Structure 1
Amino acid sequence: MTATDLSAPAPTSTLPGGSTPAGRPVPPRAWRLAGYAALVLAAALLLLPFYWMVMSSLKTNNDVFTIPIKWLPDEVVWRNYVDIWQRSDMTTWLRNTLLLSVMVTFLQVFTGSFAAYGFARIRFPGRNLLFLAYVGTIAVPWQSYMIPQFILMSKLQLSNTLWSIVALQAFGAFGVFLIKQFYETIPEELSEAARVDGLSEFGIYRRIMLPLSRPALASLTLLTFVTTWNDYLGPLIYLRSPDLRTIQLGLNTFISQYNAEYALIMTGSVLSVLPVAVIFLLGQRYFIEGIATTGLKG
């Protein structure tokens, strides 16, 4: 044995990537499982209030706020979902809310996508400055101009009508910004080829841009529908007739009349949330795709 052999370090077993057993890294699969567990826990915590609301709608009044909390009703009271329709004007509230939500959502998606096409594809002087000024209105709080808006609606004799809400919310700067960012991810060569073939700008918008922008349009549709459905302050200011109340105004009046009927209040809350939850579940794939791809170039 030579001196070189004596001075050489003893061989050690190695793992893939050069790691030794003493300093073995955590496998990627373990990190992935830990991440999934954390997401499941976070989702459960977020859904816990909704679960409690649904279970409370199936209880009696005395069992809603018991200590300790009863996560399952001792006796399922389906009668609450019958009583809420008999003791309130739920049909009118839901009809008005659905009508407003559908009309406002359609107009915002149409006007937002149409204006976004102009900002994204049409070249005209001052385009960037005008877009910056338009999008800058998002930062202006609504409380600062709601009085002038109310005076304008009163002058136009639209106050205390559903048309006041439709007229005020038919346009939205956020929708224009969202759709414009998505339009810019679509190659300009498609529009140029369509112009060479003789297609008008409106034809390009309708036959090329809209079909390719379904994820962004779905995202804007969901956001606008949920916002309009849950709007409380706007209908409170403009809709004074009981026949024009939305679900949020109707539940507020119902709570003031039946402030001790906790189970019925929870039942009404479930009915107000259920349509939004169903629509979001049906369109969540497009919503996530639209938010994830908006603003990406290439």
Structure 2
Amino acid sequence: MKNLKIIGITPIEKPDVKLALALSKAKAFPVIHLGRDQKEAAEAIREMSKKTKVKFGVCISESGFFDINLSDQITLAIIPYGLTFPFKSKRVKIVYQVHSVEEAIAAQQDGAYGIIVKGNEAAGKVSADSSFILFQRISREVSGIHIWVQGGIGVHSAAAVIGLGARGVVLDSQLLQFSECQAPVGLKTLCEKLNGNETRVIDGFRILSRPNSPALPEKPTFEDLVPFLGSLDLDKGYLPLGQDVCIGTDLYQKYKKVSNLVLLSGNLYSDTLGRLKVLIRFQKIMRLPNHWGCDILLPKVR
């Protein structure tokens, strides 16, 4: 699995074979989110396996989906830390989405192939901290494991975290507006107008909230939210959507196609990292003032 610098997960917790195929063709690593409908998830795996021979991954957020038959082409399973993957397979590598330093340490101790630092800007289950701050905190405490960053990722922030030692980045909500994504046209049109503040976090789970969204208790829990997940009808359900959907608007307007996004942003990563390395050669460690409220330590260039 060499193409793991950019991992693309199908957004809004929905299987999307067309988008996964486009990601694979663009040389990103495609991951199909299995969503919350087992029949729909199983059909997506069968269709993907029929249409391509490439390796791909799945993202599982419910333990009941472990009963689904995983094809031989599936080599990666992305799971929120806390769910236990029941299959002991050298073929399927486990990458846990972690939301704290403690989860990152525990995931490594549990033998994970890698971890995804999932910050507050992302969709679905999120951390209380932003991705960039959480990544720095985890990087200080955890080593010897692959680390990706999910949440609030654009072209420049991707170059920054990779420059600071991440294996790569994860895109999901940012992909929603691209033509290869099969989300409804009406939803894409709505997302063009969003700035991210329309999303809210309920009991650690970020969703899109609209004036016509279903009624919830005054202090809702995740259990209150679950019956409303899985529907694309915003009058009847809640959609897992990250604040970074607004980044997706800019990316779509600039790149138009997933293939352009992966190719041209990859070139920009290389250019940015090259400039970063030149800068670090002048100073072994350089502290940069920033508005995140903490110091950024740039690593030594070997």
**Normalised by the size of structure 1, how large is the TM-score?**
0.23
Q: Which has the higher contact order (CA 8 A, sep 6+)?
A: 1
The structure that is strand-richer by fraction is 2
Q: Which has the larger radius of gyration?
A: 1
**Normalised by the size of structure 2, how large is the TM-score?**
0.23
